[in-house]
Amino acid sequence: MTLIKFTNKNLKKIVCVYQLQYNKNYPAPGIGDFFRGCFFVMQLTNRLNLEFALDISNHPIAKYIENCGKNNSINYNNLDFILGLNRPPHLWRDPTTYLDNNFANQLIDKMNKHTVSDTYALFTNAFPIFYNFLDTGREKIKNMLIPNNVMQNYIDCALNELNLTRNTYATIHIRSGDQNITNLTPLDVGFINKIKKYINKLIIPNKKYLIISDSNTLKVVLKVYPNFYILNRKIEHLGGEVKPNDSMATMNTLLDFYLMSYSNSIFALSVYGHISGFSQYCSVINKIPFNYIVLHP
């Protein structure tokens, strides 16, 4: 199937909105999924000669990010979650350009039918069309995620507490599973040893490593490494499945993202086959070298 023609001459802008819930009670996934979908939409809108923007004004993270407030052209109570991932599972990590025309046509059809304003807002967590990301696209997204003064002061204090300087450390991001964010599920000793085995192979003596993880229990275990720099603070999943409700935990989750954005390389270990969007798209947005291992608990 070929792409249907974009015919809506009144439509000027497509906005990816991150909030907790969408139409039909679809909850938002994590923020990494949101960034991933932003790159897909930005690449598609470039093909259609439409303007792209992202909007986090209706999500709890807006409290910590510079933004211009809500957009009067957007009805935040009536937003589509466009279901589909653009790429089949076996091509999630394939660098080849790939566009699922059936999926893209879902979006184009909705764009063509949108007549209430010149702005169509939506959510998708689709994988990008291509992974050769343009600097212009990176900067566009980065400029919409600037921490406000409160958040920037929090970041600076954290760097001072860690005794780290921007761009002088690597980040190791460990996704042990969302269930471990609340520390309700004990980590298996064998799984911990497996993580240590991988870490021992990749670290370089005397190099500084910031450790970020969804498990504070794991962070405690890894404090035995002398060149690991760890903050053990409450975090939370930012998606709508769990409805983040702890302002400090939300702030700490963003802190992890921004601290990672100041590192000179990122290595992710994840139990999820699609890696971790949280660290992968932090690397994409900030043009940081990225590598990963998929863990099998």
Residue-wise pLDDT tens digits, 106-165 = 999 999 999 999 999 999 999 999 999 999 999 999 999 999 999 999 999 999 999 999
Q: Report the alpha-carbon distance of residue 169 to residue 177 in Å, rounded.
A: 25
What's the one-letter identity of residue 196? K
Kindly report the pTM of this predicted structure.
0.94
Rounded to an integer, what distance in angstroms lies between the CA atom of residue 82 and that of residue 20?
A: 15
Query: What's the confidence (pLDDT) of residue 178?
Result: 58
Supply the mean pLDDT for the chain.
93
pLDDT of residue 183: 59
Domain with 286, as residue range(s), is 149-294
229: CATH: 3.40.50
In the chain, which stretches have pLDDT less than 70?
1, 178-185, 242-245, 297
Residues 67 and 138 in one domain: yes
Q: Which pLDDT score, from 0 to 100, does residue 191 have?
A: 86
d(CA 200, CA 135): 34
Q: Single out the residue in 92, 122, 142 at which a domain terminates.
A: 142
- pLDDT recorded at residue 243: 67
Rounded Cα distance, 72 and 95, in Å = 38
The strand pairing partners of 237, in sequence order, are none
Selection from 211, 229, 218 nearest residue 171 by Cα: 211
* Per-residue pLDDT at 181: 57
**pLDDT at residue number 295:** 86
Helices (H), 95-148: 101-113, 135-142
161 and 290 part of one domain: yes
Q: Are residues 120 and 187 in the same domain?
A: no
Residues 105 and 155 grouped into a single domain: no
Query: What confidence tens digit (pLDDT) does each residue in 15-40 have?
Result: 999 999 999 989 999 999 999 999 99
CA-nearest of 173, 168, 125 to 291 is: 173
- Asked if residue 3 is part of any domain, the answer here is no
Q: Which residues are bridge partners to 212 per DSSP?
A: 173
Cβ burial 76-85 (10 Å sphere, 16+ → b, else e): eeebbbbebb
Structure tokens at 67: 């933004």
pLDDT for position 275? 85
- Assigned domain for 8 exists: no
Longest pairwise C-alpha distance within the chain? 61
Q: Are 93 and 23 found together in one domain? A: yes
Output the pLDDT for position 296. 74
